Amino acid sequence: MPAKKTAKKSNGHHYDASSISVLEGLDPVRKRPGMYIGTTGPDGLHHLIWEVFDNSRDEAMGGFADRVEVALLPGGYVRVVDNGRGIPVDVHKQTKVSALETILTTLHAGGKFGGDDSGYKVSGGLHGVGVSVVNALSTHVIAEVHRDGGYYIQEYAIGKPKAKVKKVGPSKMNGTIITFQADESIFKEIVYDYKRIVSHLRQQAYLVKDMRLTVIDARELDEKAQKKLDLKGKQYLAEEQLEVPHMTFYFEGGLRSLVAFNNHYQKPVHKNIFYVEKQDIDPAVLSVEVALQYVDDISARISAFANNIYNPEHGTHVTGFKTALTRTLNNYAKKNNFIKEKDGAFTGDDVLEGITAVVSVKMPEIQFEGQTKAKLGSVEARGAVEAVFGEAFALFLEENPDDAKGIINKVVIAVKARKAAKAAKDSVLRKGALEGMSLPGKLADCQTKKAEESELFIVEGDSAGGSAKMGRDRRTQAILPLRGKILNVERARIDKMLASEQIKNLVIALGTAIGDVFDVGKLRYHKIIIATDADVDGAHIRTLLLTLFYRYFRQLVEEGYVYIAQPPLYKIQKGKETWYAFTDAEKFGIVGEDDQTDEGVEDGEAEAIEEEVEETTKKAAAKFRIQRYKGLGEMNADELWETTMHPENRLLKQVTIEDAQDADKVFDILMGTDVASRKSFIQSNAKMANLDI
């Protein structure tokens, strides 16, 4: 609920019904929800929260609010509160109903579309679909407004207002509260991921300095607490001191704080984090903000934002940043005799090695390439970032000689490594070396040459490889057995990786090459299936392979080519009948709860167990023969085919990257050199692990 004091307001702005422009109606949303939120799965469900939150965040970006709260409530409700100006409630001239009702029932209606200075100068949701889509896809919405000394409320059912806006009473506060309940008939499952919400909103808190953002999971509130808590028109849940999971974010440092957070598990090579922010650059670019720090690593981590929208494919603002970075470091290095003329200049790749950077621009008119907003296309952003960052970074290097020396030394090491690796890399990556004529002898290739119907099974050991080769469909399924654990590539350069026979064999089998000559169009298999044993060693090998794919073949993961096979844990027989169980729960469902003590019974062990257990368990053991598979190599060829390789029977998990930054951090922790962080991570997440030891 809004605080009693409103955040600072920009001078000269009026905000009432005349500020709201209307672009189109709402009717199509329920017919084709995917067109507006992408999917009716988990991504689309969480998108509802982002749409409502973005309105509150835009109030904070405009200087009208300094506090936002997002709460998950019992009954599938979500509540978003800010202490901004409050949505206008006066009558809109075009729609003849209140501005509040117009915003909630008309697609693309909002202050951010106003043609004058009454709306937002910058809006993260400029091309968004707005809170009206949330209303259309919810069974129940409650909109509450504190504004102009009054408290107003209006409720909606499936996008339709139950009644007109009603003034409930006086109020000394300002702000908006939107509470919604997603429609079960639209979404496959109404389950919100609290950690995902926290991760997304934490990032937004870094991007809006001085915004206090609280996230609360109050879904498990008991009845007594619910009755005590009257939500309508009242205070923020955070002030109720509820005993529920909650997190509050407030970052005065903005992007500087985000770089420090991203480098938490890294070793910096210089002390001070570079930071610059410049506003009102020109009418096309209102602000440029950049922060960076180099760490002892070989990967580059650049996060890009335009109007607070994350751009995973970067765009013109990052192009300007890279250009200025390369030029500025070269100028400084030459001026201070760190490099000689004969050594040549630093390349773009040299200066990016080990960098953690965040680039953010805010623009009144913004253009993205495609509907996903993954890549910024506004040409004005390139020149603005190049000029602002280049000037400030050159000054930073001059004023901080120790930091400059650390950065230059890091780049020089990258140059030396590049030159030393070039001969070894070229010998492996030379034309033809990674193409089909040189397929490794361990690979049992498939007969078809059509990549779209070809599958590559990466299996653990020759024993599993033998069963897989015998049981496979030779026309479409290829088998590549691995010998033990592959190299941990988290901090390995390409030349060292390709010195590993196993990784080299895998790269050759894939056909895409690697590094700067990687070409996804040459991929030989459109399903790459990791099939390891269901034990700790198998999990380790799987993690090593996923590290390889994430760091050097990320496009294969992003485009959905990588899968993990799910072999059964148990083979259960009763007379002539046979079942396969993939989990303990499935096993218990087959043999019955009374037979749980049979776990681990294998061929020839029933007699020994019968001597140790009660009479009831003896009968159960006599009824069922339960074999616990310890590895794929224990399966006969026909068993492996029937359970793990047959397209109609098998269970595959597709590997996705829901949040690349979070994934990057987890790989740093698990596969990096910081033992203390890895130990802490494992201890914190041990309860979630499903281990077979």
- Answer yes or no: pTM beyond 0.75: no
* Half-sphere exposure (Cβ direction) of 454: Cα atoms closer than 13 Å: 19
DSSP annotation of 643: I
Q: pLDDT tier at 547 (50, 70, 90 boundaries)?
A: confident
**50 vs 613: which has the higher pLDDT:** 50
Percent of the chain with pLDDT strictly greater than 70: 80
CA distance readout (Å), 561 to 120, 654, 666: 42, 8, 21
Query: Which range has the worst mean pLDDT, 8-17, 358-367, 371-380?
Result: 8-17
Give the Cα separation of 491 and 293 in Å (integer).
Answer: 18
* 230-236: long-range pairs with CB below 8 Å, 24+: 231/73, 231/79, 231/179, 232/142, 232/144, 232/153, 233/1, 233/144, 233/146, 233/151, 233/153, 233/168, 233/171, 233/177, 234/1, 235/1, 236/1, 236/3, 236/67, 236/69, 236/81
What are the angstrom distances between the C-alpha of 580 and each of 539, 567, 641, 655? 21, 9, 13, 24
The whole-number pLDDT of residue 544 equals 86
Q: What is the mean pLDDT of residues 222-237?
A: 72
**Angle at the Cα of 357 from the Cα atoms of 43 and 384, rounded to 5 degrees:** 100
Q: Alpha helices of 400-490 — where are they, by DSSP H?
A: 401-429, 461-471
Query: Exactly one of 16, 148, 453, 537 is catalytic; which is it?
Result: 537
* 460 a catalytic residue: yes
Considering 460, 490, 634, 668, which one is annotated as catalytic?
Answer: 460
Residue 692 scores a pLDDT above 70: no
Pick from 114-128, 432-446, 582-596 the range whose average pLDDT is largest. Answer: 582-596
Q: What is the pLDDT of residue 22?
A: 53
Position 378 scores a pLDDT of: 93
Higher pLDDT, 237 or 56: 56
- Average confidence (pLDDT) over 360-385: 88
Domains of the chain and CATH, by start: 17-249 (3.30.565.10), 255-427 (3.30.230.10), 436-567+653-688 (3.40.50.670)
Q: Which helix (H) or strand (E) holds 248?
A: strand 246-249
Percent of the chain residues past pLDDT 90, beyond the cut: 48
Strongest mean pLDDT among 90-99, 202-211, 448-457: 448-457
- Note the pLDDT tens digit of each residue in 634-685: 889 999 999 999 999 898 999 887 655 555 656 555 555 555 655 555 555 5
Alpha-carbon span 379 to 44, nearest angstrom: 30
Q: Which long-range contacts (CB under 8 A, 24 or more apart) does 241-244 make?
A: 242/216, 242/218, 244/216, 244/217, 244/218, 244/220
Whether residue 116 is predicted with pLDDT greater than 80 in this model: the reply is: no
| Cα gap 549→656, rounded to integer Å | 11
pLDDT at 182 over 70: yes
Which of the residues 533, 598, 634, 664 is marked catalytic? Answer: 533
pLDDT at 124: 52
- For residue 408, pLDDT over 80 is answered with yes
What span, in angstroms and rounded, lies between the C-alpha atoms of 69 and 214?
A: 5
pLDDT of residue 44: 92
Mean of the per-residue pLDDT values of the chain: 82
- Distance (Å, rounded) from C-alpha 262 to C-alpha 271? 15
* Strand stretches in 539-663, DSSP E: 562-565, 570-574, 577-581, 625-628, 652-654
642 catalytic, yes or no?
Answer: no
pLDDT tens string 421-441: 665 555 555 544 444 446 788
Q: Which of 155, 535, 599, 605 is catalytic?
A: 535
Distance of alpha carbon 212 from its chain centroid, rounded? 23
Does 27 score more than 50 pLDDT? Answer: yes
C-alpha separations of 204 from 50, 423, 439 in Å: 10, 44, 47
Q: Are 354 and 410 in contact (CB under 8 A)?
A: yes
At residue 129 the predicted structure's pLDDT band, cuts being 50, 70 and 90, is low
78: β partners: 72, 180
| Sequence-separated (6 or more) residues with CB below 8 Å from residue 8 | 63, 64, 66
**Is residue 205 a contact partner of residue 261, using CB atoms and an 8 Å limit?**
no
Convert the pLDDT of each residue in 262-305 to its tens digit: 898 889 999 999 999 999 888 899 999 999 999 998 889 999 99
Indicate if the pLDDT at residue 123 is higher than 80. Answer: no
